[in-house]
């Protein structure tokens, strides 16, 4: 390449970086808050990003810097891998060895904390090596490029239960979860969210189906906070969990608490009236409002309005819908 062509290539790349930098210096999203300008936003090559993630923190490289063409090209390759400041922190403080008749494995205790929060906002779950391995395998199907430089702890033929191996994996899994969460599209993926919440939700719904409402409610209330933080860009995603909590409170004869969580669920469906939970939830809320002596006429009007727009087909009750969730 002659000198003029080389200079032209550098100038074009510098102009492109200038456009990226200019567009990324707009006001940060509600999720990122006021981050230092030294952060480079995580721009993973995917289509249709969520609105609240389109303006991650500002890029660091100045278009006036004296980068060579090679350095600029390296910038393009690395920009999508750069990670934003995380909002959840993952700690793995302890483990326990589980022995069954035909199996033996290590359970890793994972504490998930919101940045700057205290114990009241933490979530505690347990996962084993095979759970992490399944997550990694599933994520590779969709995010192979993003994970191409991520090293996953390999299985060993011997020594899996030694203190040294367990401690190494504790640190490795902690870093692994932090890295996954720092990648915008991975932390919003159903596969990642399911890894952190699905086992507990399956247990809770199993208890609900078995009439163990107190146990189901205990688990659901533990999960809902984490599920809420993980699905901030998709508030409708937690409607089934909120409705399951309504069902538990109602069957435990706690109408006031049932109504409280029903209002939370209904607020997330105000523009999603075609959602399968909308009409059953309205019917339940009308019954609860009547029982509590609250105004139910506005809810009744919404229900009648919905019926005039929809064909008169059979709709499940809220409880019938709840017991169908997470059926294997």
- Distance of alpha carbon 53 from alpha carbon 23, whole angstroms: 13
Claim to verify: residue 219 and residue 156 sit in the same structural domain: no
Q: For residue 82, what are the contacts with CB-CB under 8 A and spacing of at least 6?
A: 39, 40, 41, 42, 43
pLDDT-wise least confident of 7-21, 146-160, 166-180, 224-238: 7-21
Closest CA to 93 of 116, 113, 109, 115: 109
Token pair 């932090």: residue: 178
Closest CA to 59 of 89, 38, 87: 38
pTM passes above 0.85? no
Is 30 within a domain? no
Strand 123-128 to strand 88-99: parallel, antiparallel, or no bridges (unpaired)? unpaired
**Which of 188, 209, 240 lies at the terminal end of a domain, its last residue?**
188
- Distance of alpha carbon 304 from alpha carbon 302, whole angstroms: 6
Mean pLDDT, the chain, whole residue set: 80
Q: Which residues of 160-181 are buried (b: 16+ CB within 10 A; e: fewer)?
A: eeeeeebeebbeebbebbebbb
Query: pLDDT tens-digit profile of 279-291?
Result: 999 999 999 999 9
Claim to verify: residue 98 and residue 159 sit in the same structural domain: yes
Q: In this structure, are residues 122 and 111 in contact, taking their beta carbons and an 8 Å threshold?
A: yes
* pLDDT at residue 248 in the model: 98
Which tokens hold the place of 245? 């909590």
- Distance of alpha carbon 122 from alpha carbon 166, whole angstroms: 23
Is 27 within a domain? no
| Banded pLDDT at 79 (limits 50, 70, 90) | low
Claim to verify: residue 220 and residue 285 sit in the same structural domain: yes
pLDDT above 70 coverage of the chain, percent: 71
Claim to verify: residue 171 and residue 282 sit in the same structural domain: no
Which CATH number do you get for residue 148? Answer: 3.30.1520.10
Whole domain around residue 126: which residue ranges?
Answer: 88-188
Which CATH number do you get for residue 299? Answer: 1.25.40.10
Residue 232 has pLDDT above 60, yes or no: yes
Q: What's the structural domain count of the chain?
A: 2
Is 164 within a domain? yes
Claim to verify: residue 154 and residue 206 sit in the same structural domain: no
The residue ranking higher by pLDDT, 250 or 61, is 250
- Backbone φ, ψ for residue 193 (5° rounding): -65, -40
- Backbone φ, ψ for residue 79 (5° rounding): -60, -40
Region 118-136 average pLDDT: 90
Is 149 within a domain? yes
Claim to verify: residue 224 and residue 166 sit in the same structural domain: no
Claim to verify: residue 99 and residue 151 sit in the same structural domain: yes
Query: pLDDT tens-digit profile of 195-222?
Result: 999 999 999 999 999 999 999 999 999 9
Claim to verify: residue 175 and residue 204 sit in the same structural domain: no
| Banded pLDDT at 36 (limits 50, 70, 90) | very low
The dihedral over CA atoms of 313, 319, 321, 322, expressed in degrees to the nearest 10, equals 170
Is 182 within a domain? yes
Residue 239 has pLDDT above 70, yes or no: yes
88-99 β-sheet, strand order: 88-99, 104-114, 123-128
Reduce the DSSP state of residue 93 to 3 states and report it: strand
Q: In this structure, are residues 232 and 193 in contact, taking their beta carbons and an 8 Å threshold?
A: no
Claim to verify: residue 169 and residue 208 sit in the same structural domain: no
**Which of 136, 167, 188 lies at the terminal end of a domain, its last residue?**
188
Claim to verify: residue 216 and residue 311 sit in the same structural domain: yes
Region 149-161 average pLDDT: 82
* pLDDT at residue 4 in the model: 52
Query: What Å distances lie between residue 18 and 99, 181, 228, CA to CA?
Result: 58, 28, 36
| Banded pLDDT at 74 (limits 50, 70, 90) | low
Is 259 within a domain? yes
Region 301-323 average pLDDT: 85
* pLDDT at residue 311 in the model: 66
Claim to verify: residue 182 and residue 204 sit in the same structural domain: no
Is 204 within a domain? yes
The residue ranking higher by pLDDT, 260 or 161, is 260
Is 26 within a domain? no
**Which of 157, 188, 219 lies at the terminal end of a domain, its last residue?**
188
Claim to verify: residue 165 and residue 239 sit in the same structural domain: no
In terms of DSSP H, where are the helices of 183-212?
A: 184-187, 190-209
- Backbone φ, ψ for residue 147 (5° rounding): -105, 10
């Amino acid at each position: 390449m002659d000198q003029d062509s080389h200079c032209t290539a550098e100038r074009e790349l510098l102009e492109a970086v200038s456009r990226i930098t200019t567009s990324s210096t707009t006001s940060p999203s509600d999720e990122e808050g006021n981050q230092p300008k030294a952060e480079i936003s995580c721009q993973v090559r995917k289509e249709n990003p969520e609105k609240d993630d389109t303006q991650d923190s500002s890029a660091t490289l100045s278009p006036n810097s004296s980068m060579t063409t090679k350095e600029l090209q390296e910038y393009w390759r690395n920009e999508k891998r750069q990670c934003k400041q995380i909002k959840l922190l993952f700690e793995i403080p302890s483990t326990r060895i589980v022995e069954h008749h035909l199996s033996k494995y290590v359970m890793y205790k994972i504490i998930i904390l919101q940045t700057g929060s205290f114990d009241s906002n933490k979530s505690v779950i347990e996962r084993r090596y095979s759970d992490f391995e399944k997550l990694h395998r599933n994520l590779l199907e969709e995010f192979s490029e993003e994970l191409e430089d991520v090293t996953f702890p390999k299985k060993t033929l011997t020594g899996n239960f030694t203190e040294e191996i367990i401690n190494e994996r504790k640190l490795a899994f902690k870093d692994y979860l932090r890295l996954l969460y720092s990648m915008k599209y991975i932390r919003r993926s159903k596969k990642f969210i399911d890894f952190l919440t699905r086992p507990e939700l399956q247990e809770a719904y199993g208890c609900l189906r078995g009439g163990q409402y107190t146990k189901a409610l205990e688990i659901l209330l533990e999960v809902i906070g984490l599920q809420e933080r993980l699905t901030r860009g998709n508030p409708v995603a937690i409607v089934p969990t909120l409705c399951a909590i309504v069902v538990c409170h109602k069957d435990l004869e706690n109408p006031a608490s049932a109504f409280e969580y029903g209002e939370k669920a209904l607020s997330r469906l105000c523009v999603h009236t075609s959602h399968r939970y909308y009409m059953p939830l309205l019917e339940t809320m009308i019954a609860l409002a009547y029982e509590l002596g609250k105004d139910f006429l506005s809810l009744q009007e919404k229900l009648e309005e919905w019926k005039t727009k929809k064909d008169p087909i059979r709709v499940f009750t809220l409880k019938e819908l709840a017991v169908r969730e997470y059926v294997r």
